[in-house]
Amino acid sequence: MSVSEYFSKDYGQARKRFIDASKQAGAAMSSYQCPSAGPDGEVLTTDVAWHGEPDAERVLVTISATHGAEGFCGSGVQIGWLDSGLYQERPDGIALLQIHAINPHGFAWLRRVTEDNIDLNRNFVDHSGPYPENSAYDELAEVICPTSWDDATIADTHKTLRAYADSHGEKALQSAISGGQYSHADGLFFGGNSVAWSQNILMEVLSGKLSGAKQVAVIDYHTGLGPRGHGERICCHSPESNDLKRAMDWYDEDVTSPLLGTSSSVELHGVNVFGMEKCLPGADLTVVALEYGTQSSPEVNLALRADNWLHLHGDPMSKKGREIKQQIRDAFYQDADDWKSAIWARAVETQKMAFRGLSEG
Q: What is the CATH number of the domain that holds 50?
A: 3.40.630.10
Q: How many CB atoms lie within 10 A of CB 127?
A: 15
At 281 the pLDDT is: 94
What is the residue-averaged pLDDT of the chain?
97
User: Is residue 141 a part of any domain in this protein?
Assistant: yes
Please check whether residue 229 lies inside any domain of the structure. yes
Q: Are residues 159 and 72 in the same domain?
A: no
Residue 361 has pLDDT above 80, yes or no: no
Assess whether pLDDT exceeds 90 at residue 129: no
Give percent above pLDDT 70 in the chain: 100
116 inside domain = yes
- The answer to whether residues 280 and 144 belong to one domain is no
**Number of domains forming the structure of the chain:** 2
7-48 per-position pLDDT tens digit: 999 999 999 999 999 999 999 999 999 999 999 999 999 999
pLDDT in tens, 186-229: 999 999 999 999 999 999 999 999 999 999 999 999 999 999 99
pLDDT of residue 1: 74
What mean pLDDT do residues 163-187 have?
Answer: 97
Beta bridge partners of 228: 293
For residue 339, being part of any structural domain is answered with: yes
Q: Does 269 have pLDDT greater than 80? A: yes
CB count in 10 Å sphere of residue 318? 11
Q: Do 287 and 271 belong together in one domain?
A: yes
Q: What is the pLDDT of residues 145-157, one digit of tens each?
A: 999 999 999 999 9
The reply to whether 188 falls in a domain is no
Q: Are residues 218 and 80 in the same domain?
A: yes
Residue 322 scores a pLDDT above 90? yes
Q: What is the pTM of this model?
A: 0.97
- Would you place residue 283 in the very low, low, confident or very high pLDDT band (cuts 50, 70, 90)? very high
Q: In terms of residue numbers, what domain contains 76?
A: 3-127+195-294+333-360
332-351 residues labelled b (16+ CB within 10 A) or e (exposed): bbbeeeebbebbbebbbebb
- For residues 285 and 322, membership in a common domain is answered with no
Q: Is residue 130 reached through a cis peptide bond, with omega within 30 degrees of 0 on the bond before it?
A: yes
Q: 78 and 235 in contact (C-beta within 8 Å)?
A: no
The verdict on 273 and 305 lying in the same domain is no
Residue 187 lies inside a defined structural domain of this protein: no
What sections of 53-150 are H helices per DSSP? 71-83, 104-109, 135-144
Residues 144 and 122 in one domain: no
169: amino acid identity, one letter: G
User: Does a structural domain hold residue 184?
Assistant: no
- DSSP-derived letter for residue 262 is -
CA distance 321 to 193: 28
Give domain status of residue 186, yes or no: no
Indicate whether 142 and 289 sit together in one domain. no
43 Cβ contact list (under 8 Å, min separation 6): 33, 34, 37
Mean pLDDT of all residues in 261-290: 96
